[in-house]
Amino acid sequence: MLVFTKVSDLQQWLAAQRQSGKTVGFAPTMGALHTGHLSLVYAAKSECDMAVASIFVNPSQFNDPKDLEKYPRMPEQDIALLTGAGCDALFMPPVAEVYPPGRDLSVTLDFRQLDQVMEGKFRPGHFAGMATVVKRLLDIVQPDRLYMGQKDFQQLTIVRDMLRQLKSPVELVMCPTAREPDGLAMSSRNLRLSSQMRAAAPAIYQILMAAKTVFEHETADTVQKLAMEQLLVAGLRPEYFDLVDGYSLLPVTHRSSSDFIVACVAVWAGDVRLIDNLVLKP
Ligand code: AMP
């Protein structure tokens, strides 16, 4: 696997690939890689000629400086994992390559309610930072396909909207959430869970699964209240448990309200914030 730290070197290599007719699949990440990240690389590898990953802990999407500071970083291990997964190239730039001093690259698109609900309420500025870095990375890599995880469902919905607004030719591919054997969604943040919180955290998925069953005959309001109570009982501190339309992210009231309903949840497990989601009505 080739490792690039400079935009110009990566672009030179990418130009040569495109010249020989190769398609490129791109999986942007913030590192501390796990099987969920690697599943994006496998998908890219199986559908495109070249799989390119990036590792960049994007300062502009952290609304809490402590969260940025504590974000796990393990470049050597990540390089070994990506190499093992058959990734062709890794882009691991310093901040100044992504945000050259003096250039304002911020994305100021109007995402309507998409970036206001759920994570948007609890992490002000997060999605503006995320959209800015994804747009910048797409401008650099210019992939044919972009691979993102369902795990960050709201993020993916906003990126889909951004690509539509920009009339981008990039095809967005959603990869299913990879889970630990006990159901906990894989996340780089899981490394920071205390043993007590690691034991409590699988309740998130169990409660999502229970919500799916209860929603077959109860209203969204009842499902939400029950889930919030169950999360508290499990020793977690929920921020939200919302049942939303999978495209508009607006709350639904009943099963009949939409053809595509997703339950999205955010909790604090001690001092670690975790998110997850489950499609209740596909
Ligand atoms: P991150 O490094 O957390 O920014 O995530 C980079 C990409 O990996 C995003 O598209 C995430 O949605 C995706 N991802 C993270 N965790 C998982 C998971 N457990 N399963 C599938 N994709 C994931």
Q: Is the pLDDT of residue 64 over 90?
A: no
pTM, 2 dp: 0.97
Q: For residue 262, what pLDDT is reported?
A: 98
Q: Is the pLDDT of residue 115 over 90?
A: yes
Q: Which DSSP category does 149 fall into? A: E
Which residue has tokens 């992504």? 98
Q: Cite the DSSP H helix spans in the chain.
A: 7-19, 35-47, 65-70, 75-84, 95-98, 119-122, 126-141, 153-165, 195-200, 203-214, 220-233
Which residue has tokens 């010249």? 19
Q: For residue 192, what pLDDT is reported?
A: 94
Residue 239 in contact with ligand 1 by CB distance below 6 A:
no
Could you tell me the residue ranges of all domains in the chain?
2-175, 188-281
Residue 61 in contact with ligand 1 by CB distance below 6 A:
no
Q: For residue 198, what pLDDT is reported?
A: 98
Residue 126 is a catalytic residue:
no
* Contact between residue 186 and residue 198 where contact means Cβ atoms under 8 Å apart: no
DSSP 44-64: HHHHSSEEEEEE---GGG-SS
Is CATH 3.40.1000.10 correct for 2-175? no
Residue 14 in contact with ligand 1 by CB distance below 6 A:
no
SS3 content of the chain, % helix, strand, coil (to 5): 45, 20, 35
Edge-to-edge strand list for the sheet holding 237-245: 237-245, 261-269, 272-281
Q: Is the pLDDT of residue 224 over 90?
A: yes
Q: Is the pLDDT of residue 63 over 90?
A: no
Q: How confident is the model at residue 80 (pLDDT cuts 50, 70, 90)?
A: very high
Residue 274 in contact with ligand 1 by CB distance below 6 A:
no
Q: Whose CA is nearest to atom 11 of ligand 1?
A: 149
Task: Give the distance (Å) from ligand 1 centre to CA of residue 251.
Answer: 24
Residue 126 in contact with ligand 1 by CB distance below 6 A:
no
Q: Is the pLDDT of residue 173 over 90?
A: yes
CA distance 73 to 82: 15
Q: For residue 122, what pLDDT is reported?
A: 95
The CATH classification number of 188-281 equals: 3.30.1300.10
Q: For residue 234, what pLDDT is reported?
A: 98
Task: Give the distance (Å) from ligand 1 centre to CA of residue 11.
Answer: 24
Which of 90, 151, 275 to probe ligand 1 with, by most ligand atoms within 8 A of CB? 151
Residue 40 in contact with ligand 1 by CB distance below 6 A:
yes
Task: Give the distance (Å) from ligand 1 centre to CA of residue 78.
Answer: 14
* Contact between residue 145 and residue 171 where contact means Cβ atoms under 8 Å apart: yes
Angle of helix 126-141 relative to helix 153-165, nearest 10 degrees?
Answer: 60
